[in-house]
A and B are shown apart, each in its own frame.
Chain A
């Protein structure tokens, strides 16, 4: 259990800058999610904290101690990998006990700790099995168990749920979060899935092209995106963007309105043609095309009537819900 501090951490591969300086103070026991599209540097950032990648510039502190030059094993961290990275030739027990055996922990203590973790993760019936005899969700739990038994200061998760099917993912999401709260361990969690980020994070770091576009609590980020990228990436369906020209303005600012803040009306600020309606049961997504080809989505409650495909309708919204972005994508 410890704090984690990144101070202007940078990474370059040769002349290519991959991470342009990320800073954050993570409090003890906090769950931080790093979210962004593939190639944004989120995994690299995590691997730098783990010690699997060198840190080009800046500083990483764990529990107030600089760990830049330390080997992964000396950093007091545990990591859960996307493909779980279980040792295929070892039983579940040996997989979890591996780190403890190397640390020369006493046998009885190892047995105790593994038993404890197995109980917590409902793995008790499987301790003698090999990883290949387990289902995806069970393997995921073993990977978690391996991290837990070592009682690390920081948990690192590298897209741990992306190999699971959708239903299991939702379940494991809750389990991981519950477990982390119970253990009170600081956690850094990487994902490309904004739903995971929204639901799991105490605070999240939205990464874009090696830059932390925004750091904040999920709902704050959602309500107040700092950049056009964040507004588009966080939220599903994404924010609708309309150019200034479409709105009859001369400046090159963009206007963003979330789908749930838009409504269909007889008259309105814009006119558009319906292209498709997705009735999802609890809600309906109406896809529309504006005069200049801009695609817009409106989110309606299930009860609201939706127009026929091809119908010309008006679009309206409250000015309070408008978000404006300059040419560089920054919020204005």
Chain B
């Protein structure tokens, strides 16, 4: 039963949604429009003149080996970040859900990392894994492992994935815990009486009932991995070594602001916009069907 509010005139409702519309217009539609417009030009490095090239920027990008490599990097990176952050969060949430004593403290401690800004989180992990003074690097050295994410591409990817996922675990944990606690205890008990052990219960009852939460987190986390991990990558690897951790959003930055190729950068933003829209549509269209609400 939906409760609908009806207004008599048009002015009050307009006034009420105006702030939202203004914010969206100024901070989303305007820059997005600018990006689309700019993607059709090549400006000179000093920004004094622009030359119309039509879809030339896109043609060039899609034939560019490095740009295509960045697609693969982004795919690997976002899948890893999403799987790691959601997997760990779900595991912790299951433990917290079973906890009776001290659950408040446990939850609070787990939520803290969420308050750490991505760039700060990046610096934190960078110090721990610094090739010369890092604590973890030193211990790994004692074990005979020579950690060097500045040179080793796999290690670099591993580090940015862990650092990105780390800050995200808190957020996912909160949602998973809320999702778990929304499942009536008696349903779990009924399943236990029906003969289901822990894993059977999880597979046949908990996981399906948790699927709306999981689906929501999947969408949010992939978008997070696409965009908000910029700070982490920038502080830890700056996209290196070579291009091993240059995800699409980082390439937008490095091509545009470091390489001063603003036309290409704008074209990349547009491609990114399209990809994320597509991903979200696909997720809602296909995965949502398998979700039990």
Chain A residues engaging chain B, CB cutoff 8 angstroms: 50-52, 71-73, 77-79, 81-83, 85-89, 98-99, 102-103, 146, 150
Contact yes or no, B193 A72, CB < 8 A: yes
Q: Which residues of B contact A52 (CB under 8 A)?
A: 189, 192-193
In whole angstroms, what is the CA distance A73 to B197 when docked? 9
Q: Are B191 and A81 in contact (CB under 8 A)?
A: no
In the complex, are the beta carbons of A102 and B184 less than 8 A apart?
A: no
Closest to A71 in B: B192
Contacts of A72 in B (CB 8 A): 189, 192-193
Question: Would you give 27 A-B contacts (Cβ < 8 Å), ordered by A?
Answer: A51-B193, A52-B189, A52-B192, A52-B193, A72-B192, A73-B193, A73-B194, A73-B195, A77-B193, A79-B190, A81-B189, A81-B190, A82-B186, A83-B184, A85-B184, A85-B186, A85-B190, A86-B187, A88-B209, A89-B292, A98-B194, A98-B196, A98-B204, A99-B193, A99-B194, A102-B194, A102-B196
Name B197's closest neighbour in chain A (CB-CB). Answer: A73
**Complex alpha-carbon distance, A88 and B186, angstroms:** 12
CB distance from A148 to the nearest CB of B (A): 13
Contacts of A51 in B (CB 8 A): 193
Q: Which residues of chain B (166-222) have a CB below 8 Å from chain A?
A: 184, 186-187, 189-197, 200, 204-205, 208-209
A102 contact from B187, B189, B200, B209, Cβ within 8 A: B200
In-complex Cβ contact of A87 among B191, B193, B197, B200 (8 A): B191
A103, B208: Cα distance in complex, Å: 20
Q: Which residues of A contact B194 (CB under 8 A)?
A: 73, 98-99, 102, 146, 150
A50 to chain B: which residues have CB within 8 Å?
189, 193
- Chain A facing B: main interface SS: loop
Which A residues are CB-close (under 8 A) to B186?
81-83, 85
B81 vs chain A, min Cβ distance (A)? 29
Identify the 4 closest CB pairs spanning chains A and B, nearest first. Answer: A99-B194, A89-B292, A85-B186, A73-B195
A-B contact count (CB 8 A): 59
Most chain A beta-carbon contacts within 10 A, residue among B186, B187, B193:
B193
Cα A150 to Cα B191 in complex, Å, equals 13
* Bound CA span A146–B194, Å: 9
B48 → chain A closest CB, angstroms: 62
Residue of A nearest to B200 (CB): A102
- What are the residues of chain A within 8 A of B196 when measuring CB–CB? 73, 98, 102
User: Which residues of A lie under 8 Å from residue B208 when comparing CB positions?
Assistant: 89
Give Cα distance in the complex from A88 to B208, angstroms: 10
**Closest B-chain residue to A73, C-beta based?**
B195
Please give the distance in Å from B167's CB to the nearest CB on chain A.
32
The 8 Å CB contact of A89, one of B190, B191, B192, B209, is B209
Give Cα A89–Cα B191 distance, bound, in whole angstroms: 13
Tell me the bound Cα distance from A218 to B208 in angstroms: 45
Contacts of B191 in A (CB 8 A): 87, 98
CB distance from A204 to the nearest CB of B (A): 24
Complex Cα distance, B185 from A83, in Å, reads: 10
